[in-house]
Structure 1
């Protein structure tokens, strides 16, 4: 009986070690993924890279993004997956070009960008820390959050045609709320052993952080616009 107990303890220790390693590698790769994002954003702004707008732009983005995501999922156990992830983050950095260009047009544009970056980092650190230590179970949120993302996509497509400022604000606020909740969900998936691949874990957390940052900057830009 004692041997069984020791065996159980050893397995639990091994599982904890694996989960800690996945979490550590995920945070490391997430930090690394910010470099191509910043590079893409700088190149986009400096060279005024034209980003297609409107419905065709949206369709093009979805096609390229899902192509990258499919490739990352297929190659998640090799270096190709990491390379594709970093390529994807460069592409996402380029996509920030219109938002950053507009924000930098304000007198306090640089401050707004740093505020959005600081706010995003604070949200991520607070929620990731909470998800790591809490005993609360966030696994039930998965399907509700996915449904929320579908609603956001539909609302975003509708607003391409409607162009309503109030709807843009509502979408940005909802994006921040949903992807903040996704941080809790995604980090806990790693902590509880539901996600054991650090490449796909990084992809999930990167999308959370990216969406919070861009929506936060959009909202701050509205304040900057009025100054």
Structure 2
């Protein structure tokens, strides 16, 4: 059927109620709604993992290099399982396991910040700041009309560079490089929030489990970078 014939069909006008445009919009909103619900749920295992890690001092005596190795192997393995099972209920189960693991890995930073006299307030500030950034980027995604695929490629390159710099800093132990990386992570993954929400709204991501995984990683990295920066510059060590 040609375009003219399609346009002559009842209810087939883009954006009309019951038409293709309306159906696509409903599907995209459903994916976004399910993503936000699962994202909120995923924060519960993260908090539990962080609490357990702090209480048990799980990574306290572990070398930084070994901790990084556990992080990369565990995170990549669990992300693979999430993506492999994204079309079944197992995908949700593996996602919850992944977020619990990420909470465990966050516990070393959280424990260090809690060791500061104003540690709890810094954590709440980092949480509030992360929420504000996410709200701003998600809102911006609803009004941006241009295609952001070019920005996504640029951000991916930036994320790879940051990962390489992070591996290098395990051996270099440079404070200047660490601060540069934290600022870079904050900027790159804040922008990734915009890109990932926009991709859902544009129909580029139709699986809410994959969408949740992407947004969770954005939020996790922004929170971690923000908390680290607040601990460095705003921590009260008295």
Normalised TM-score (structure 1): 0.95
Partner of 2:11: 6
Structure 2: stretches of 5+ with no match in the other structure: none
Structure 1: stretches of 5+ with no match in the other structure: none
- Is the Cα–Cα contact under 8 Å of residues 109 and 224 in structure 1 kept in the other structure? no
Partner of 1:165: 175
When the two structures are aligned, how many residues end up with a matched partner? 227
- Is the Cα–Cα contact under 8 Å of residues 190 and 222 in structure 2 kept in the other structure? yes
Whether 1:61 and 2:66 are equivalent positions in the alignment is no
Normalised TM-score (structure 2): 0.91
Q: Quick check: 132-141 or 61-70, which moved more? A: 132-141
Partner of 1:38: 47
Moved over 6 A (4+): none
Partner of 1:117: 127
Partner of 1:129: 139
- Is the Cα–Cα contact under 8 Å of residues 106 and 224 in structure 1 kept in the other structure? no
- Is the Cα–Cα contact under 8 Å of residues 200 and 206 in structure 2 kept in the other structure? yes
How has the CA–CA distance of structure 1 residues 225 and 7 changed in structure 2, closer, same or farther, with 3 Å as cutoff?
closer
CA distance in 1, matches of 2:236, 2:121: 15
Q: CA RMSD in A?
A: 1.4
- Is the Cα–Cα contact under 8 Å of residues 138 and 197 in structure 2 kept in the other structure? yes
Deviation at 1:89, TM superposition (A): 0.3
- Is the Cα–Cα contact under 8 Å of residues 103 and 112 in structure 1 kept in the other structure? yes
Whether 1:16 and 2:21 are equivalent positions in the alignment is no
Alignment of 1:70-219 (within 5 A): 70-219=80-229
